[in-house]
Amino acid sequence: MTLQNRAELRGARRVVVKVGSSSISGDNVAQITPLVDALAAAYGRGTEIVLVSSGAIATGLPFLNLDRRPTDLATQQAAAAVGQNQLIHRYQEELDRHGIIAGQVLLSANDLALDAHRVNAQRAMSRLLGLRILPIVNENDTVATHEIRFGDNDHLASMVARLIGADALVLLSDIECLYTRPPSEPGAEPIPLVPFGAELEGVEFGEPGKAGVGTGGAATKASAARLAADSGTAVLITSTPNVARALDGEDLGTWFEPRPQA
């Protein structure tokens, strides 16, 4: 189904939710609990939920006695290998409270670029959803290379939404919506709606150049939103603390209208 507005999110058939590293690791690890509660509420209404979660590398850093994201690929891969295990364990502990089982799905760029791999991934995801399993998707950072990778999980989430024919994609961050300029600057105005095909330039999340554990930002979110909208999936960009209200269809965030049905 093609969603016409935010209110229809509550009754959506299939929704992909993407959360970034900074929202569920480090000082914000406690946000996993309300995030899972929101996903479980939508799941309980009958919505098929897929979670695309960053955070494997960030979660693995303390276990490797590292205080910042490594720059070399081998150490990133080691941190991802350790962190992915811990991250899934944390999600499953929270999902246990709701009687929901998670299924881990690790994808590489080739998995969605090659026809046979893509069909296999689509079949596996559809079967998990049919069994009422909640897939938790991440890039397979342990084997990814700098040359062949998605680059950020916003684009991975948009590709997953397209792969499974999702009604909506919810991109979560630390800012409630897109703004006309950095929200700390005078004159910054929220952008509640992006009509399909409309131009959107010069939008930033938070402070320019702000360092962190994630790899995405406003530009990547806007690009990913356009990619998903072009395939007929509505997109909502909002903050992680707003996820329950977003899935309940409240009027918040930045809504990207999907391509109209022919």
Q: Tell me: the pLDDT tens digits for 99-116?
A: 999 999 999 888 888 899
Q: How many CB atoms lie within 10 A of CB 37?
A: 15
Residue 261 within a domain: no
Gap between the Cα atoms of 175 and 193, Å rounded: 15
Note the pLDDT of residue 214: 44
Calculate the dihedral angle through the C-alpha atoms of 138, 106, 71, 201, rounding to the nearest 10 degrees: -40
Residue 174 within a domain: yes
Gap between the Cα atoms of 178 and 191, Å rounded: 5
Residue 19 within a domain: yes
173 marked ligand binding residue: yes
Give the predicted TM-score (pTM) of the model: 0.91
- Region 122-133 average pLDDT: 97
Residue 66 within a domain: yes
Number of domains composing the chain = 1
129 pLDDT above the threshold of 50: yes
Kindly state the percentage of the chain with pLDDT values over 90.
Answer: 66
- The tens digit of pLDDT for each residue in 153-206 reads 899 999 999 999 999 999 998 889 998 887 778 888 899 999 998 877 655 544
Residue 156 within a domain: yes
Q: 113: domain range?
A: 6-256
Residue 45 within a domain: yes
150 pLDDT above the threshold of 50: yes
Q: Which of 86-100, 149-163, 220-234 has the highest mean pLDDT?
A: 86-100
Residue 186 within a domain: yes
Gap between the Cα atoms of 46 and 57, Å rounded: 32
18 marked ligand binding residue: yes
54 marked ligand binding residue: yes
Gap between the Cα atoms of 94 and 41, Å rounded: 13
CATH number where 128 lies = 3.40.1160.10
Q: Which tokens is 201 given?
A: 């330039």
- The tens digit of pLDDT for each residue in 9-50 reads 999 999 999 999 989 988 899 999 999 999 999 999 999 999
| CA angle, 96 then 99 then 101, to 5° | 75
Residue 176 within a domain: yes
| Contact between residue 70 and residue 76 where contact means Cβ atoms under 8 Å apart | yes
- Region 212-230 average pLDDT: 76
Task: Name the average pLDDT for the chain.
Answer: 89
